[in-house]
Amino acid sequence: MQIQLVDLQKQYLFIKEEMDKAILKVLANTNFIQGSEVQAFENEFGEYLRTVKGKTAYFPVYCASCANGTDALYLALRALGIKKGDEVITVSHTFIATAEVVVQVGATPVFVDIDAGTMLMDMKQVQKAITPKTKAIIAVHLYGQPCDMDQLMQIAKRHRIFVIEDAAQAHGAVWKGQKVGTFGDLACFSFYPGKNLGAYGDAGAVVSKNEELIEFVRCFANHGRKKGEKYHHSICGINSRMDTLQAAVLRVKLKHLDKWNELRNAHATYYLKHLELPAITIQGGAYSVWHLFVIRSARRDELLKQLKEKGIGAGIHYPVPLHLQPAFAHLGYRQGDFPVTEKIAEEILSLPLYPEMAKSELDFIIQTMQEYVYERV
Ligand SMILES: *Cc1c(COP(=O)(O)O)cnc(C)c1O
């Protein structure tokens, strides 16, 4: 049996008819940049984020699409005016994009450790890392689980610091009745193909309850053009647009997202029931969308090798903490600075998890894992 970490082919076959129709419609219209699908997706995604179980929030959610999730984070920092001399607090246990963009706007990433149970930003550490230079916190809803947004927003309000949510792995995750992406000043989504909501190429979005911030992002991401302008540019921006094809793909997939997230939850529950290894603790009040199913093992590398031999596509997210990456050497961090992050990086393992997984596949993985654990004792 061959089981991939994520199987996009299975998903495509499942939605082929709708998807082909949507793509062919874009090809027929040839409106490849800023076609009507783009605005339609922005509106639909904004509505999706303000709706939980059929109940719509009192606040609006504005959405500006862009070329990818990394650009979304960059655009959010630009919208808040983060620049040289500013500090931005975030975690070392995340994908590099979260901190890379802080360097790209000239500011300094300040890393904090994570909680060993949730593997998310440790709010006590955030409090300690605040200095007069701190301008923003980027909270990462890693693996699909929401951060404790009560604590985070309280800290941010008290110190008048901006909050950006990196929701690249958490489309549809809910914290106490409210979707992630609607708490901070701005939130960023990636629609990289393997994400819970994935395009057929690169795509991303910035969302906010603040229309002005989103208007800035829209303008900046489109060569500094304001609405309706073509060769008039009010600011020097960049080119970071979502193409019409990707918007059409995402509109088809958005309709299935809740059902897919439910299936991920069902598979994760099944894993948790049958595996005896420590996994992630989900906080009370949190609905995780299980972007990844991550377990911990002191003999992770051996286990990974064993799974690979059996055709199981396990992975490590992420093997090298950001504070130990050569890319951030200039920040002067050392081994030992973030003990929880460093220990977890050596022990984590992501098992295959995607909505279309068959029970036989889950059972095969569980059986392989159990054999390994059994052999070990
Ligand atoms: C995927 C991801 C990003 C970057 O998104 P891209 O679309 O690949 O640029 C940022 N942050 C996190 C946590 C991610 O998982």
Per DSSP bridges, beta strands 286-287 and 174-175 are antiparallel
Q: Three-state DSSP class for 132?
A: coil
What is the C-alpha to C-alpha distance for residues 165 and 207, in angstroms, rounded to an integer? 10
The strand pairing partners of 222, in sequence order, are 239
Q: How far is the CA of 109 from the centre of ligand 1 (A)?
A: 17
Q: How far is the CA of 168 from the centre of ligand 1 (A)?
A: 5
Protein residue with its CA nearest to atom 10 in ligand 1 = 97
The model's pTM: 0.97
Substitution site in 92, 94, 96, 98 for ligand 1 pocket (most atoms within 8 Å of beta carbon): 98
In order, the DSSP letters of 330-375 are GG---TTSSHHHHHHHHHEEEEP--TT--HHHHHHHHHHHHHHHHH
Ligand 1 binding pocket includes 169 (Cβ within 6 Å): yes
145: phi then psi, degrees, rounded to nearest 5? -95, 135
Provide the CB-side half-sphere exposure for 203 (13 A, CA): 26
Cα angle value 229/186/348 (rounded, 5°): 130
pLDDT at residue number 1: 84
Q: Across the chain, which distance is largest between two alpha carbons, in Å?
A: 70
What is the C-alpha to C-alpha distance for residues 25 and 8, in angstroms, rounded to an integer? 22
Ligand 1 binding pocket includes 192 (Cβ within 6 Å): yes
Residue 195 CA: nearest ligand 1 atom is: 1
Side chain identity, residue 205 = A
Substitution site in 6, 70, 100 for ligand 1 pocket (most atoms within 8 Å of beta carbon): 70
In order, the DSSP letters of 201-241 are S--EEEEES-HHHHHHHHHHTBTTPPTT-SS--SS---B--
Tens digits of pLDDT across the chain (377 residues): 899 999 999 999 999 999 999 999 999 999 999 999 999 999 999 999 999 999 999 999 999 999 999 999 999 999 999 999 999 999 999 999 999 999 999 999 999 999 999 999 999 999 999 999 999 999 999 999 999 999 999 999 999 999 999 999 999 999 999 999 999 999 999 999 999 999 999 999 999 999 999 999 999 999 999 988 899 999 999 999 999 999 999 999 999 999 999 999 999 999 999 998 788 888 999 999 999 999 999 999 999 999 999 999 999 999 999 999 999 999 999 999 999 999 999 999 999 999 999 999 999 999 999 887 656 54
Q: Residue 318, preceding bond cis, omega within 30 degrees?
A: yes
pLDDT at residue number 374: 59
What is the C-alpha to C-alpha distance for residues 303 and 301, in angstroms, rounded to an integer? 5
Cβ atoms of 304 and 92 within 8 Å: the answer is: no
Give the DSSP H/E element, type plus range, for residue 37: helix 36-49
Residue 192 CA: nearest ligand 1 atom is: 7
